Structure 1
């Protein structure tokens, strides 16, 4: 069993890494926006998204919301890999720091109030299985909607210059709406699955300490 002092040390380390990730992403964003084509709305948008992901991960680490840290870390890592020939190299340090924070946050374990609530009213196996099935179904449907609307259909028409006005004028708003709905469905499915894993972890930990 992990001692309280060790858990606190791990939690502080997670907080530190997440704070460094936010600072690193912010510095990278400042460099990229000062040197990059700010008239290009997509370039500016992705840079701001990266900073936002680092900030979301930092909030998750400081509030011990491990799923939020993992989601932000993985998305930021994916953005770094996809954009490795442009913005990716600038964002890589923040992504690595946030991944480290996520790993340490995972080791800290569930929040005490959440743990107490689960142990006070544990779900039945059939209830957990039903929620997990709903989670898989929601994520699958959401992924299909995103693929059909964003990948096959496309969200934007090409612009000679990627300005905000041109982008708004050439946006397929129906496809954007379906894509947003799909992303929400994926998020809901992932949340349901994570809750079942989270609950099972708490129950297993409680059983092992009896």
Structure 2
């Protein structure tokens, strides 16, 4: 399983993913789930993936192939709007899922995946979408400025409480990391290392891309500080 989260704020976007792929207790691997497509100053697109690895890897491979061959109808780097980008990703994801389902139907098995698509093109608005396995999608709004895929329930409470459109990028970075920390503590199918991406509004480029390895001192210190703050708060609440 996995956990990925994206925040859409007035200052920009913050995205975070884990890298664990779990095919059983004795088969745990690390696979990247954050994919960047960038023409600095012109457009930036980030895709986060969760679900069947065969579906997500094939979908990303087809998206990259469309870019390489210059297919304007299915290349996210030629799309005129971020809405068209979401549509291209959704159509590609749905087609891959159908192909793989057909191959697995004889075993009465299926495979699915979901994706978060974020980005901006020069002259356009920053937009954030959650793409479902069927290819349809929803969009983040001011009322709901964050989207999650994978094991999202453990990391959602802190986002509900602290994230709003005016949240700064620094505070947003802290929020997603603490959201991930809560998930790591409660679900063994989510694991390090983590991939963090920050994009400032109208920069149309990746302003920060950082991999956080297991044992990272700053992440560990933040996790310990959060645990201590929760314990202290718990002790001060009267019943």
Confirm or deny a common fold (TM above 0.5). Answer: no
TM-score bin (small chain)? under 0.3
Higher relative contact order (CA 8 A, sep 6+): 2
TM-score under structure 1 length normalisation: 0.24
Identify the structure with the greater strand proportion.
Answer: 2
